[in-house]
Amino acid sequence: MGNNAVQTRILDSGVAVITIDLPDSKVNLLSASVMMELDQAVEQVKANPAVKGLIICSGKSDNFVAGANINEIQAIQNEPPVKAYEASKQGKELLAKIERLPYPTVAAIAGTCLGGGTELSLACKERLAADSPKTRIGVPEVQLGFIPGWGGTVRLTRLLGLQAALELVTAGNPVEARKAWKMGLVSEVVAPDKLMARAEEVALGARARRYVPSFKARATRTALEGNPLGRKVVRMMALKAIMAKTRGKFPAPLEAVKVIFAAATQQPDKAFEAESQAFARLATGQVSKNLVGIFFAQQESKKAPAGAACNLKIKKVGVLGAGVMGAGIAQAARYAGYEVVLKDIDASTINKELAPMAFVDKGMATIKGLFDSLVEKGKMTRQKADEMMAGIKGTIDYADLADCDFIIEAVVEKMKIKKLALTELQKVVKNPNFIFATNTSSLSVSEMAEGAANPSNVVGVHFFNPVYKMPLVEIVRGKQTSDATIACAKEFASRLGKTTVTAADSPGFIVNRILAPYLREAIALAEEGVPLADIDRAMKEFGTGFPSPMGPFELLDTVGLDIAGEVIRVLHNALGERMAPPAIMGKVEGLKLLGKKGGKGFYLYENGKRGDFNPDVLAAITAPRKPMGKTTIQDRLLLAMINEAARTLEEGINTDPSQIDLAMIFGTGFPPYAGGVLRLADQMGVKLTCTKLEWLSQVAGDNYRPAELLRKKAQEGSSFYAG
C-alpha cells in the first residue's frame, strides 16, 4: 500500500496487529498518504470476522507516532480555512472507525507519542505505555498555534476531566509514562520487553491495571467539575493563567479552553464540530503561520554545512574562565554527559589575600548550586548530582587540559588575553586537532585565530546568559574556520540542548548587532525625556524579552551594563556614528553600575529581585518629561531592529531571513507570535516599513536611514519571505 508505512497481520490468538513504520524515517508521521494506508488497514481488519481484538503499534523502538506531517500543515496554511476544516473532518472519520470497532482495541505506545499520534491512541479503548524515559505522550499543537484537530481535545476532556485536559492541551507539554498513567491518559504501564505480549492479553479482554486515584482526589474533581459553579471556577482560573502567560497574544490556548468546555457540557457531535472549526481558524491564522515558520527554521538550523561532518570525537571538554559564563557552560557540558575541566587563573596573583583556587572554587560552587537546584525540583537525584560534580575537575594548571578535545574560552573580553590562552593551550593539549571555541560576544574570531597552529579549528561558540536558561548558541565562522569545525560546534551545542544559528565573523554577530540599536534607541528616548517606565512597559506589552517579557532597561541590567557598554563600543568603532553610545552611558560608567549582578543598574536590586528605578540614573536625565504613546515607542524600537536585521542579511552575516529571525527569538526573546524581526517587516508591509524609517531618519537620527536591501524590496514590492 502506498509508502508501505502500515502493515497488518493476524496473530494466532485472533488479535489483529496494525504496525506503523514509515520507511527511511527515524520517526512516524501521519501524512495524508499514511492516513490513507491506515484507513485501508482498519477496513481490512473490520471486514475480517475472525478478528477478536486490535493492537496498533509502531515498528520503531523509540517512537510510536511523532504527530502529523508539518509540511502538510504548512501547505494547508496557504489554502482557505475550509481546507483545514476538511482535513480535520477526514481525520476524525478515520479515528471514529477505530473507536466504533466492536472488540477491544489497544494502542501499544513505546517512545514518543505526540499530536496526531496521541489522538490516534485516544481512539483506542485502551492505551498501554512502555515504562521507559523515552515514552513521552502529549498534544503539543498549541506550540504551533493550533489545537488538536482529530478529536483529541474532546476525547481528552471526556477521558481525564477538565483540569487534566486543560493542563495537557493549553500548555502542550508531553508527560512521561508513569505520570500519564496516574492522570488516566494510559491504562497501564508495562515493561518495554513485555509491551506487545501484554497488549495481546488486553486485546483479548484482560482487564488493564489502571491507576486508582485517592478518594480525596476523586472528591476534589467531582466538587470542581461536577456542577456548573465548579466548572465556572475552573474556566476562570484557566483563562486567568493563560492570559498571565500569553497576554492574549497566542489565540490557541484560549480557543482550546472553549473547546474543552464544549466537550464537557455539550453532545459529542457538537464538541467535535467546535474543535474542527477552531482548528481551521487557528491553523490558517497568522500566528500559527509564524510559529510553523519558526519550527522549520529550527529544523534547518540543525544542519551542518553541505557535505560536512564532525571528524572529532568529543569526550572531554575544557572551559577557561570560572566566572558566571564559564561556570554555566561547564555545568551545561557536564549535564550533557561530557567530562569537564574548568580552569581559571591563580587568584593570589590578583590579590595576595586570596587562595590560589579561589576563582575556581567560586565557579565550582556556582555549578553545584545549579545541580542542587535540579535536585530540589525533582529533576535529578542527589546521587546523580554528586556523580555530575565528580566529573568536573577544577584547576589553575593548563596541563590539566591536555586530554581535552574541545576547549571553550570564557575569559575576560580582551583580545590579548584570549590569544594568550590559545598559545598556552597549544603547548599542552595532546590532540593537535583540538577545537578552540571562543565565547566572545564582540571580538573577531578571525583575528583570534591568527596565532593558531591550526586556524581552521578556531570557531565562535557564543552562549547567552544565563546559560542554563537561554536556548541559543551563535556559531561564528572565522575566515579560516572549516566546515568540519562548524559541524563539530553545532553537534556540541545541540547535545547541550541548544538551538544554533551560524553567523559570519562580523561585529556583534547577529543577536548583538540587531539588539544594539534597539537598546541604544531606548536609551535615546529616555534622554529625550520619555519616562523609563513607559518605555519598558510598551515593550513588555509587545512581548520582548527572554525567558519572560522584559523591557529594554531590565534587559540591559540582565545582560550587564559593562558588557552592553563594551558591545556598543565595538559596534561604534566598526559601524560609525549611527552606533555612537548615548551620552547617558558615560554617566552610567562613571557611576560604576553593572546592572543586576552588581545590585544597581537602571533599576535597583536586592537579593536578585528588581526594585524601583535607580534614582542616580533618573537624576542623570536632564530633559523635561516627554510623554509618548505606546505604539510610537514600539515603532521607534522595533523599526531600529528591523533596519539592522536587513543590513545583517544584506552583508551576508547570515543569508537566510528565517535564521536571523530564529536567532532573535531564541537569543533575545523576540515574541514568537510575531514570527521574528524580518517576518514582522513583511507583515507590516516592507513599503510601509521603509516609509516609516525614512521619516524617522529625519527626526530621530541616521540610525533609521533605511538599509539598501529594504529600499530595494520596497521599490520592487517584494518581501523577505517568499509566499
Active-site annotation, residues: 462
- B/e letters for 688-699, b = 16+ CB within 10 Å, e = fewer, are ebbebbeebbee
- Asked if residues 365 and 323 have their Cβ atoms less than 8 Å apart, the reply is no
Task: Classify residue 360 as exposed, middle or buried by CB count within 10 Å of its CB (0-12, 13-18, 19+).
Answer: buried
Distance CA 199, CA 502 (A): 47
| Closest residue by Cα to residue 196 from 7, 15, 41, 6 | 15
Beta strand ranges found along 25-179 (DSSP E): 53-58, 63-65, 105-109, 112-114, 126-130, 136-138, 175-176
Backbone angles phi, psi at 395, to 5 degrees: -155, 160
DSSP letter string, 435-458 = EEEE--SSS-HHHHGGG-SSGGGE
Specify the pairing of strand 316-320 against strand 6-10. Answer: unpaired
What's the CA angle centered on 390, arms 387 and 393, to 5 degrees?
A: 150
- The size of the chain, in residues, is 723
User: Cell 570564557 appears where?
Assistant: 410
Distance CA 412, CA 236 (A): 51
CB 443 within 8 A of CB 418: yes
Nearest in space to 515 (alpha carbons), one of 459, 463, 579, 582? 579
| Residue with grid cell 557535505, as numbered in its chain | 307
The answer to whether residues 155 and 119 touch, using CB atoms and an 8 Å cutoff, is yes
658: nearest Cα among 72, 76, 74, 246: 74
* One-letter amino acid of 715: Q
Residue 301 has phi, psi (to 5 degrees) of: -65, -20
The H-assigned helical ranges of 284-352 are: 286-301, 324-335
Angular region, 14: left φ>0, alpha ψ -120 to 50, beta rest: left
- Reduced to 3 states (helix: H, G, I; strand: E, B; else coil), residue 208 is coil
The span from the CA of 522 to the CA of 381, in Å, is 44
Torsion from C-alpha of 329, 333, 335, 337, nearest 10 degrees: -170
What the block records as the C-alpha cell of 512 is 548583538
